[in-house]
Amino acid sequence: MRDILVINSGSSSLKFAMLGLDDLRALDDFSVHYQGQFSGLGGCQAHLVIRDGQGKILRDDHFAAIDDLYDHAAALKDLLKWMDENTDSSRIRAIGHRIVHGGRHYRQPVRLDEGVLDDLETLIPLAPLHQPHCLGPVRMLLTLRPDVPQVGCFDTGFHAGQDPVAQAFALPRRLTEAGLIRYGFHGLSYEYISRRFPAYLHRPETGRVIAAHLGNGASLCAMLNGVSVASTMGFTALDGLPMGTRCGNIDPGLVLHLLTAEGMTAQQVGDLLYKQSGLLGVSGISGDMRDLLESEMPSAKEAVDLFVYRIIREIGSLSAALGGVDHLVFTAGIGENAAPVREMVSKGCEWLGIRCDHSRNQRGEIRISEDGSPVGVWVIPTNEERMIAWHTAHYCH
Ligand code: ADP
């Protein structure tokens, strides 16, 4: 059995999973020893939950900072301590990391060493909220676990083969050549869906698929037989759909307006667009879909309506990029759990032949389209951790 530790480090969270593997054939050959997450990182107190493979809680704890903020580095140290005290961490054969940005050059998973890390650090300006948190744990583990290979898996990699016309902004050539293009994100989630979907369809060719990764971050990806052809996210993970706290697509002239007429600094505009917008900004209540669906406030409904409206419009756009659509797949926290959102999105896409069966949707079945619906509508749980482990397993001795 090979044990693989997966680290998925976000802006304020650090998710981890220890997966075991006997024989690398399919994505589902992994068993989960334990998995968990630190949330609230970067503040005074963080919350840790660890569960075993059956979902039983192994640890549920709060950590307070001693004289500074409790950050990703503190969380990783506490995780390693817990692993050393409670598990046989000598069995770890490799560590796989989700790395948000691979830029133009890193498309495939890669063994991480000092040189590669230096290279990836040059991409921090392209994903300032995420990339430093992805790379920090790698650097720490290179020191603390120097004998264990570490592998970087890129969220941008899945989209790297898109046609240049799908990647380009209409900007002067020199900027495009300097790498100011649409990269697209959530690639590990879409890769997982693209690899799992043929088994649901019982055939290798999946046709024209639009996958909707709707979580705190949200995007859509158009795939032709499992290959990404277009995505709603762009140069940064700010583009496309409204998200929990991010604005999604807006007129770039609005940014200029905020900087000039409103006199805001770049830092203030960044905070506004990344942290105070989206579902949170529109509702004024919460960036969490559960809260909004439960709320009676009109502004909660307005936020959900805008989220749904933008998804419907972008599905139209991606259908055009694909020349039609055969399947719509919902995934991630909202996509997998929020039946009302799936129903509203499907209703707005009836003109495309998308017909959602109310009862199947309510029951949360895997295929939720009506019998005879020209377009299949599906709910498929994503699993970025398994995708990372699968890539990382190729580097195990
Ligand atoms: P992340 O991008 O942080 O991984 P998730 O994929 O876990 O996020 O998605 C989080 C989102 O999913 C939140 O908006 C949350 O409210 C929503 N969500 C989770 N469960 C439900 C549910 N049962 N009903 C509606 N929304 C849900």
Which secondary structure element, helix H or strand E, spans residue 72, and what is its range?
helix 72-86
When mean pLDDT is compared across 21-25, 28-32, 178-182, the lowest value belongs to 21-25
Among protein residues, the one whose CA lies closest to atom 24 of ligand 1: 338
Render 92-124 in DSSP notation, one character per residue: EEEEEEEES--TTT--S-EE--HHHHHHHHTTG
Mutation to probe ligand 1, out of 288, 289, 342 (largest number of atoms < 8 A from CB) = 289
Q: How much is the pLDDT for 68?
A: 76
150-158: average pLDDT: 97
From the candidates 71, 155, 239, 357, which is the catalytic residue? 155
Distance 243 CA to ligand 1 centre (A): 11
What average pLDDT score do residues 355-378 get?
96
Mean pLDDT in residue range 51-58: 94
pLDDT surpassing 90 at residue 35: yes
Q: Are 47 and 39 in contact (CB under 8 A)?
A: yes
Pocket test for ligand 1, best of 290, 307, 383, 385 (most atoms within 8 A of CB): 290
Q: Model pTM greater than 0.85?
A: yes
Of the chain, the percentage scoring pLDDT greater than 70 comes to 99
How far apart (Å, rounded) are the C-alpha atoms in residues 397 and 125?
A: 35
CB of 226 closer than 6 angstroms to any ligand 1 atom: no
CA atoms within 13 A on the CB side of 224: 12
Confidence (pLDDT) at 143:
94
**pLDDT(67) > 80:** no
More confident residue, 182 or 13: 182
Exposed/middle/buried for 84, CB within 10 Å: 0-12, 13-18, 19+? Answer: exposed
Our answer on whether the CB atom of 12 is closer than 6 Å to any ligand 1 atom is: no
Residues 95 and 4: beta-carbon distance below 8 Å:
yes
Question: Mean pLDDT throughout 374-389?
Answer: 96
- Does residue 297 register a pLDDT over 70? yes
Residue 281 identity: G
Query: How close is the Cα of 332 to the center of ligand 1, in Å?
Result: 7
Domains and CATH numbers, the chain: 2-154 (3.30.420.40), 202-379 (3.30.420.40)
Helix (H, G, I), strand (E, B) or coil at 355: coil
Ligand 1 touching residue 345 (CB < 6 A): no
pLDDT at 276 over 80: yes
Ligand 1, atom nearest to 291 Cα? 16
Half-sphere exposure of 391 (CA within 13 A, CB side): 28
Band the pLDDT of 64: cuts 50, 70, 90: confident
* Residue of the CA atom closest to atom 19 of ligand 1: 333
Please tell me the predicted confidence (pLDDT) of residue 333. 94
Whether 217 lines ligand 1, by a CB cut-off of 6 Å, is yes
- Average pLDDT score over residue span 297-315: 98
Ligand 1 test: best mutation among 9, 337, 344, most atoms within 8 Å of CB? 337
Q: Between residues 248 and 126, which one has the greater pLDDT?
A: 248
Contact 46, 60 (CB under 8 A): no
**272 alpha carbon – ligand 1 mean position (Å):** 22
Res. 131 pLDDT band, cuts 50 70 90: very high
The reply to whether 155 belongs to the active site is yes
* Ligand 1 pocket check for 244: Cβ under 6 Å: yes
Ligand 1: does its nearest atom lie under 6 Å from the Cβ of 237? no
Ligand 1 centre distance from Cα of residue 119 (Å): 33
pLDDT tops 70 at residue 175: yes
Cα(290) to centroid of ligand 1, in Å?
7
Which ligand 1 atom is the nearest neighbour of the CA of 244? 14
Nearest to 116 by CA among 130, 129, 126, 106: 106
Does the Cβ of 338 fall within 6 Å of ligand 1?
yes
Phi, psi dihedrals of residue 38, rounded to the nearest 5°: -90, 135
Mean predicted confidence (pLDDT) in 110-137: 92
Taking all residues of the chain, what is their mean pLDDT, rounded to a whole number?
A: 94
59 lines ligand 1 (CB under 6 A): no
Q: What is the tens place of the pLDDT at every residue in 257-269?
A: 999 999 999 999 9
pLDDT value, residue 206: 96
Cβ neighbors of 33 (< 8 A, separation 6 or more) are 3, 18, 19, 20, 52, 53, 87
Helix (H) or strand (E) holding 252: helix 252-260
- Residue-wise pLDDT for 201-258, tens only, equals 999 999 999 999 999 999 999 999 999 999 999 999 999 999 999 999 999 999 999 9
Distance 289 CA to ligand 1 centre (A): 6
Residue 333 Cα to ligand 1 midpoint, Å, equals: 3
Q: What is the mean pLDDT of residues 62-78?
A: 85
pLDDT of 397 reads 62
User: Which residue's entry shows tokens 């050539």?
Assistant: 173
Report the percentage of the chain scoring pLDDT > 90. Answer: 86
* Mean pLDDT on 198-202: 95
Cα separation of 292 and 280, whole Å? 9
